[in-house]
Copies of this chain bind each other. A is one copy, B any other.
């Protein structure tokens, strides 16, 4: 399934934007390399990261995640690497929770989500604050609008459904 025509209107370092002709009309489409995220469980805690998200002019509480930008690396390997690099935690017993399309109305981005038992092995990345939080408090933070990142909401609720 492909558009009848497509023209690039922007090519950046992360994103490519096309304007495409489809039977339903013209579509503006953001092409994204995809990402992988980890729900890191440490006893009763989930290990979250707080960082500035310039696009929304605010910081966020999120599960560790990263863009699929290493050739040949699987989403699972990417999620494990990002947990190590971003938060300074190692992963054991990785399980796949599923995947989401965050914004299928205008973007092809797909995020694969995993969970693991996490163990602190080093320091977080510069600009990233590690926030271990009781899993039950994190679910409460979603209800209260203190966690709003889509992949984090999906990941935590998927992990809760599995009984963590």
Contact = CB atoms under 8 A, between A and B. Distances in A.
B149 A106 contact: no
Contacts of A74: none
A25 to B, nearest CB: 9
Interface residues of A, number: 59
The oligomer's copy count stands at 2
B145 A106 contact: no
A122 interface: no
A41 B148 CA distance: 23
Interface of A: 1-3, 9-10, 12-15, 17, 19-20, 22, 24, 26-30, 32, 35, 52-58, 60, 62, 67, 98-110, 127, 139, 142-143, 145, 148-151, 153-154, 157-158, 160-161
